Structure 1
Amino acid sequence: MSRLLRILFLTLLLTFTACSKDDDSEDGGTPIAGNRLSTGDSARDFLSDENFDELVIEVVYVEGYRPTDAALNNLVQFIEERCHKSAGVELNVRSFPSPNIAEFNIQQVDSIEKVMRSQYNLGDKMALYVSFLDGKFEDDSDDSVVLGAAYRNTSFVIFEETLHRFSDGINEPDRFLLESTVFRHEFAHLLGLVNLGTEMQTDHLDTENGSHCNVESCLMNYRVESGINIPGMTSEENIPELDSQCLADLRANGGK
């Protein structure tokens, strides 16, 4: 099977009807409802400092599947370039034992978040949750695999085991570069791209591949996933950038 598979970045707009009021608060009354909304609902809160001037990134990973420090730092840099967080961006990283799930669905990913997440929007501090798992997505096939999914307003998941399979090999990108691309792409969905909570200033929506940009070279184009796994992706300059239309959308919604 060719290593040049179509690699998908998945954006899911989910409403879990099983969630109750008990799901939205912890013991002691700490509210978590603000972190259990749909993808894109907190775009302006990420981009502006109107409600939150600080951001904490909670990174949890299955033991043995820690993301590279370089890629995590690249995500922080991307956030600082696009978002107004004058009090800074904090990075918290910790591991947890494997849940022993070979194929994940998003409901299982969400259930792991309920157990593992400890940081929620509170006061002037906003919280982002990112998990790195050791199984694959349930819809993976011989022709396409999913590397990451943005599934709530402040949450995305990376299927790190799958990412390992498609990086650091012959004619494959460096793991740091592939991780950095996936991290940025999924976080940009949380910023409301494309037309996912951040209004378009000009029409650049790829209607056939929802919530993606129709500019082929843009970070938010769905074709990015089939272009990153090629020879030549050897430096940070090869990570796709947001095009001018996506940047205009973010600025209009309070971003830099």
Structure 2
Amino acid sequence: MITRIRTFLRLALLVGAFVGCTEHTQPDPQPEEPEEPEEPIENSIQPADFLSEEKYTQLIVEIVYIEGYEPTNTSKYHLLSLIDSRLHKKGVQIFAKSILSPGEDDFSLETLKIMEEAYRTNETSEQTLVVWIFVADGHYSGNKDDNKILGLAYGPTSIALFGKTIKDYSGGLNQPTTAVLESTVLMHEFCHLLGLVNNGTPMITNHQDATHGHHCSNQDCLMYYAAETSQFLGHFLWNTPPSLKDQCLQDLKNNGGK
């Protein structure tokens, strides 16, 4: 009996050693591949998403401005009128808040993106499309010579207005009012998000300014290049913002707008 027990124990030890050795020689499991971060929805927004209500039925306009540079009620009114007359949306909301100055005299494109990342609180989701508008208390770092940039659409849902530059070129003798110039720049940049000119919304007939990129060749149109620069003074009336002309209107309607 004792001999049988000893034999059984020897077999048990051999089996245990074999199993232990087998487990030890198995390769370690492969580490899981890290998940790639999802691309922000904003990066996939197309002009037609603004114009139609196929994907987004609601629109939020988030305005963040440096203290002392809040957009005028007039410019907000003109923007809402543009949205109402050209976009198919069941609801539109505007939120505005002020922040302290970052202490920059000039804002580069990189700085604008940093400000947006830090202060943008609303993101596009489900049926709600969100636009970000930042009003800086300085100038654009890419200004050249005497041609100053007043505003910039730098992403599918992102706009910057250079409030200090707008004030420098408005409200004085032989200058438009700040409300008129600011309204013009704000609507002009918003229309870039709508794909004008030939910037995501196809042209029915060719009216693109070959010299100034995605702008209209009609000098009376809101999308003429001078509407976003200090050259505004030499091209437009000063008592009212310019409007979109027929070719731009046809393009928007053809791409899902009103």
Q: TM-score, normalised by structure 2?
A: 0.81
Match of 2:110 among 107, 111, 114: 107
Which structure 2 residues correspond to residues 158-237 of structure 1 after superposition, within 5 A? 158-224=161-227, 225=229, 228-229=232-233, 233-235=237-239
Q: Is contact 1:34-1:121 (8 Å) kept?
A: yes
Instruction: Quote the residue 2:241 is aligned against.
Output: 239
- In structure 2, give the amino acid aligned to 1:34: I
Cα distance change of structure 1 residues 116 and 36 upon mapping to structure 2, 3 Å threshold? farther
1: CA distance between counterparts of 2:208 and 2:186?
21
2: CA distance between counterparts of 1:45 and 1:251?
13
Cα shift at 1:231: 10
Which range moves more in the overlay, 148-157 or 64-73? Answer: 64-73
1: CA distance between counterparts of 2:236 and 2:85?
25
Structure with the greater alpha carbon radius of gyration: 2
CA distances 1:116-167 after superposition (whole Å, capped 9, x unpaired): 1011111111100000001111122441111100000001000001111111
Q: What secondary structure is seen at the aligned counterpart in 2 of 1:93? A: strand
Measured on the aligned residues, the alpha-carbon RMSD in Å equals: 2.0
Which of the two has greater strand per residue?
1
Q: What secondary structure is seen at the aligned counterpart in 2 of 1:250? A: helix
Q: Unpaired runs of 5+ in structure 2?
A: 1-35
Match of 1:154 among 152, 157, 160: 157
Cα distance change of structure 1 residues 200 and 173 upon mapping to structure 2, 3 Å threshold? same
Q: TM-score, normalised by structure 1?
A: 0.82
- In structure 1, give the amino acid aligned to 2:65: Y
1: CA distance between counterparts of 2:231 and 2:105?
27
Q: Is structure 2 residue 257 aligned with structure 1 residue 255?
A: yes
Cα shift at 1:233: 4.0
- In structure 1, give the amino acid aligned to 2:118: V
1: CA distance between counterparts of 2:53 and 2:88?
5
Q: Is contact 1:172-1:231 (8 Å) kept?
A: no
Which structure 2 residues correspond to residues 57-76 of structure 1 after superposition, within 5 A? 57-76=61-80
2: CA distance between counterparts of 1:122 and 1:231?
40
Tell me the matched-pair count.
223
Q: Is contact 1:205-1:213 (8 Å) kept?
A: yes
Q: Is contact 1:171-1:231 (8 Å) kept?
A: no
Q: Is contact 2:143-2:149 (8 Å) kept?
A: yes
- In structure 1, give the amino acid aligned to 2:86: R
Q: Is contact 1:174-1:233 (8 Å) kept?
A: no
Q: Which has the higher contact order (CA 8 A, sep 6+)?
A: 1
Q: Unpaired runs of 5+ in structure 1?
A: 1-20, 25-31
Which of the two has greater helix per residue?
2
Cα shift at 1:49: 0.3
CA distances 1:88-122 after superposition (whole Å, capped 9, x unpaired): 11000000111111111101101110011011111
Q: What secondary structure is seen at the aligned counterpart in 1 of 2:213? A: coil
Task: Work out the percentage of aligned pairs sharing the same amino acid.
Answer: 37
Q: What secondary structure is seen at the aligned counterpart in 2 of 1:44? A: helix
